[in-house]
Amino acid sequence: MQLSLSGHHVDVTPPLRAYVEKKLERISRHFDHVIDVTCILTVEKLLQRAEATLNVRGSSIHAIATDSDMYAAIDALIDKLDRCVIKHKEKRADHHAAEARKTMRA
């Protein structure tokens, strides 16, 4: 998984980059077909915004999260992406194959 991390009106420090990389490991545990991730961290007055686009085989998944703290915004973003990745994984699963195996055993 290739990560592209940039900041608008905020410097992306090494601890911030390490925090994002650590949190993205959770997504790669659930779904290992992630090609690359583009993450943008933005500061707008009192709001901190984190947005990311995951390019997976067959589509792309986009999520945005805002909070008053950048680390909380990143946590919310990862939660949203995790739910979207699990939903995408379930959609791509072939549910009919499991049903066919059950009928063959009986």
Residue 49 has a pLDDT of 95
Give, in order, the Cα–Cα distances in Å from 80 to each of 88, 93, 101: 12, 20, 34
> Has residue 97 got a pLDDT over 70?
no
61, 81 Cβ separation under 8 angstroms: yes
User: Judging by DSSP bridges, how do beta strands 34-44 and 47-56 pair with one another?
Assistant: antiparallel
> Has residue 95 got a pLDDT over 90?
no
85: β partners = none
Q: What CATH number does the domain containing 83 carry?
A: 3.30.160.100
The number of distinct structural domains making up the chain is: 1
High-pLDDT (> 70) share of the chain, %: 92
Residue 76 has a pLDDT of 96
Range of the domain at 20: 2-105
34, 28 Cβ separation under 8 angstroms: yes
Residues 23-69 have pLDDT tens digits of 998 888 877 778 899 999 999 989 999 999 999 887 899 999 999 99
